[in-house]
Structure 1
Amino acid sequence: MYKLIKLDNGLRIVLEHIPYVSSVSVGVFVQTGSRNENKHNNGISHFIEHMLFKGTNKRAGKEIAETIENVGGQINAFTSKEMTCFYTKSLNTHLDLSLDVLSDILLNSKLADEDIEKEKNVIYEEINMSEDSPEDVLMDLHSIAIWGEDSLSLPILGTKESLKGFNREILKEYMGKYYIPDNSVISICGNFNVTTIESLVDKYFGHWNVNENSKVLTNYSSPLILKDNLYRKKEIEQLHISLGIPGIEMGNDSIYPLLILTNILGREASSILFQKLREEMSICYSVYCGLSSMKNTGIINIYLGLNTAVAAKAINAIKEQMSIFTKKGINEVQLYNGKEQLKGSYILGLESTSSRMFSNGKSALFLNKIKTPEEILNKIDKISMEHVNEVMEHTFKQGIVNSSFVGDISNIDEIISHL
């Protein structure tokens, strides 16, 4: 059973009741991430995510984790380019406790000056750790190649320079502006009392209100996907490459045929690119296609890591395989198999209350509606060859339009020329 309701203060609650499980997953989704920032406060959404676990008027930082973990539950959070999420998973008998803790950290965090300064050091190390990961550096660099000066290109962690200026006043001001009921969704999935759940959520979140500086997030930019190629020198063994192709924005039903095409080209071990570059040519260990769909924009990226000596050879092979793929298209057998694969991976994902909670929360936050499994499976079944060809025309047929490279190489211009 799915239900989307709204409290008097504007907070949306999405419920999925599953009576045959013993767990319940709860997520508080706030519509703010690095996309809502600028160069001066870049990283503030992620910083606030960390700070909300540092203590409230009711609980010390350690107690926040202990309260949930002592009853066998889990509590955590994450920040993306477009949202921040705080979540728990526990036995359904501890739903009241989960809502108590989540509301406490959202609404009563101390944001103490001492904790802020200490946490800066923690996130500096997180940035250092990201710098040591070529894949992380590559994706942040590719975001700039794709979106340029748009805030979508900003790194989620922020920079050491932007973090230096954070203080309690700046954090409180940002939270007062964006951490409001109208920008938020509570998603609950699992076994709970359907007759009392609304009043229970209202007990903990009904007094969450706005101030005169609050801003409801409704308008987002529609950034152009740029044609740019960026390189970052790093003394590592491999050259890491990300190739960008225009994708599809969040909420567009064309995402389903695009997923089929992406899976066939490069998502699985049986895919075209994996079989060509790894199995046949044996020039890389990892090659795959990924999708990113956001408000008003989307991108497909092909990632690979390999010896710099064969980089040009790999790019030529990818372009050749993409050319064949876009000219030939797919046949009815591939379409049928693609649908079954898509349905299989989706249905398997439904077996987790937390994955269902995340999916429902994100859908309610950005689209203000929930698609039931039956609706999604029906959309997949109805994918036609005509729709697949139309999606191919607007995505893969556009070719590689931008790229990023991370590694230690002297002839990067020559390699980029192969694009």
Structure 2
Amino acid sequence: MNCSPRLLPAHTHRLSNGLSVILHPIPITDSVTVDIWVQTGGRNEPLEWLGLSHFLEHMVFKGNDRLAPGELDRAIEGRGGVTNAATSQDYTHYYITVAAGDLPESLPYLAEVVLRAGIPADEFERERQVVLEEIRRAADNPDYNAYQQLMQTAYGDHPYGRPVLGTPASLMDLTPELMRTYHQGWYRPEQMTVVVTGGIDPERALALVEEQFGGSPSGAELRIPPAPAQPRPQGILRQESTHPRLEQARLLLAWPTVSAHDWQTACGLEVLASILGDGRTSRLVHLLREQRGWVRGIGCSSMVLKEGGLFCVSAQMDPDHLSRVEATILHEIEKLQQDGIGQAELDRTRRILTHEFLFSAESPSQLAGIYGYYETLGGVQRIQEYLELLQSLTPTQVRELAQQHLSPEAYVVTTLKPAGLDSASSPERQLAYR
């Protein structure tokens, strides 16, 4: 029986105002990462607020009456540190990495901008143009387009089907007053987690966090209408389009799965995705890229979200191969459903996933990201549960997961081809599933 690896134990705390704190000392490093996670993102936006979470991420760095725009960046980068942020469907997070000795002077800047974002009106208009340009650049990216088409088809009216960046029209309707209301409603201590990793003394780090965040009172809750349930495809939902900057066609297949609440199934689907498309020895990579050469690249992933996951297969190829590659993917899935997998293949897959996880937790910034992400999905205990489930999963369970969640008769497929290609004229096109 294999023993699951363990991360060094984290120190977890909850302040009196509801703020969650996760501390993980790494004695051999001289750097520290502070990562603030807020439990809101695109999922919490009504349609008329589309893009608000991401726009707010930009505006947080514009300071307030006590901190000038860009002062956080100057304070951190002037000490040789780095700062950045990201917005997703389920969360927004802000992080800095600095030398351990600079933490007491650096943390107040980060706390100030995140907790007390001023949303100045003049900066709002300037930054709106920055975000609009980001949207325009994304529209020129074929992979972004293919991904958004897949999400829209898979999730329908659910917020997960909308672009986190928003649209030019939705950005123009947002106001500083609306953003301040959103910030006050979601950036509350009980909706936030502060992660500190690296060369820290846990007691001193906790005292610093409590000093900067403990006095922040809980604000009024912002009530958002519940989102519709994730739809389940009845048959095959197909979305086809072209892109002028594309040379290789894109093929994306997806099956709706479970939310983060069904953690055991979510972990099992991660193993299934690795078996099919993670690395040269995986089934689809070995067959379609290494043996037949039909694809330039192919991979699988199991997306875990709070309100419904998605199992995805994505590939790049010459447009003439689209239909035969889709048919082969489905054939390999049906083969796994019928014949299952052997113990040796499962053992190799769990080694790959375990090592990938451990290698992704080597630096303070990587570790802070892992803690924040898992806390967002339901708690840091999910980390150890994941590592243990990797070891306990059986070949029979993997086969049952494939049978239950990867129907060859009901899935979502998105194809993106080079502009100017007449899909009806391609003889290969006639082999497409009906």
1:3 to 1:234, Cα distance in 2 relative to 1, 3 A: same
Q: Does 1:370 align with 2:372?
A: no
Q: How does 1:168-179 map to 2 (within 5 A)?
A: 168-179=176-187
Answering whether residue 118 of structure 2 is matched by residue 107 of structure 1, we say: no
Please say if 1:16 is aligned against 2:16. no
Alignment counterpart, residue 233 of structure 1, candidates 224, 227, 242: 242
The aligned counterpart of 1:341 is: 352
Q: State the AA in 1 paired with 2:255.
A: I
TM-score with structure 2 length normalisation? 0.89
Contact 2:336/2:399, CA 8 A, preserved across alignment: no
Letter in 2 for 1:418: Y
**Cα distance change on mapping 1:356 and 1:217 into 2, 3 Å:** farther
Q: Superposed, which structure 2 residues align to 1:294-313 within 5 Å?
A: 294-313=305-324
The 1:412–1:207 alpha-carbon spacing in structure 2 relative to 1, beyond 3 Å, is farther
Which of 95, 99, 102 in structure 2 is aligned with 1:94?
Answer: 102
Cα pair distance change 1:56/1:330, threshold 3 Å: same
- How many residue pairs match? The answer is 417
Letter in 2 for 1:99: L
Moved more, 271-280 or 26-35: 271-280
The residue number in structure 2 matching 1:7 is: 15
Q: So what's the TM-score if we normalise by structure 1?
A: 0.92
Q: Which amino acid letter does the alignment assign opposite residue 346 of structure 1?
A: F
Q: Which stretch has the larger CA shift, 201-210 or 219-228? A: 219-228
From the superposition, tell whether residues 240 and 416 of structure 1 become closer, same or farther in structure 2 (CA, over 3 Å).
Answer: farther
The 1-side partners of 2:207 and 2:58 are apart by 29
Q: Which amino acid in 1 is paired with 2:232?
A: I
Residue 410 of structure 1 is aligned with which of 405, 416, 422?
422
Shift of residue 400 of structure 1? 5.5
- Provide the C-alpha distance between the structure 1 equivalents of 2:141 and 2:424, rounded to a whole number of angstroms: 20
Query: Greater CA deviation, 39-48 or 285-294?
Result: 285-294
Query: What displacement does 1:412 show?
Result: 6.5
- Do the aligned partners of 2:46 and 2:225 also contact (CA within 8 Å) in 1? no
Partner of 1:158: 166
1:367 alignment partner, SS class: coil
> 1: distance between equivalents of 2:17 and 2:76?
27
Task: Output one character per residue of 1:245-298: Cα deviation in whole Å (capped at 9) or x when no partner.
Answer: 233422512333322221121121222212222222222211111221111311
Q: 1:386 Cα deviation (Å)?
A: 3.1
1:211 equivalent in structure 2: 219
> 5+ residue gaps in structure 1?
none
Contact 2:251–2:415 (CA under 8 A) maintained in structure 1 = yes
Report the CA distance between 1:359 and its aligned residue: 1.5
> 1:147, 1:153 within 8 Å by CA — same for their partners in 2?
yes
Matches within 5 A, 1:21-170: 21-170=29-178
Moved more, 149-158 or 246-255: 246-255
Gaps of 5+ in 2: 1-8
Which residue number in structure 2 is paired with residue 224 of structure 1? 231
Aligned counterparts of 1:225 and 1:72: Cα–Cα separation in 2: 49
Note the 1:231-380 alignment, pairs <5 A.
231-235=240-244, 236-251=246-261, 252-371=263-382, 373=384, 376-380=386-390
The separation in 1 between residues aligned to 2:70 and 2:54, in whole angstroms, is 19
Report if the CA contact (8 A) 1:266-1:272 is conserved. yes
Assess, with a 3 A threshold, how the Cα gap between structure 1 residues 320 and 365 changes in structure 2: closer, same or farther: closer
- The answer on whether the counterparts of 2:305 and 2:377 sit within 8 Å (CA) in structure 1 is no
- How far residue 155 of structure 1 moved from its aligned partner, in angstroms, is 0.5
Shift of 1:398: 5.5
Residues 171-203 of structure 1, C-alpha deviation per residue, up to 9 Å, x if partnerless? 101111111111111111122122232221111
1:312-343 per-residue CA deviation (whole Å, 9 max, x = no partner) reads 12212222222222222110111111111111
Q: Contact 1:240/1:405 (CA < 8 Å) preserved in 2?
A: yes
- In 2, are the aligned partners of 1:29 and 1:86 still within 8 Å (CA)? yes
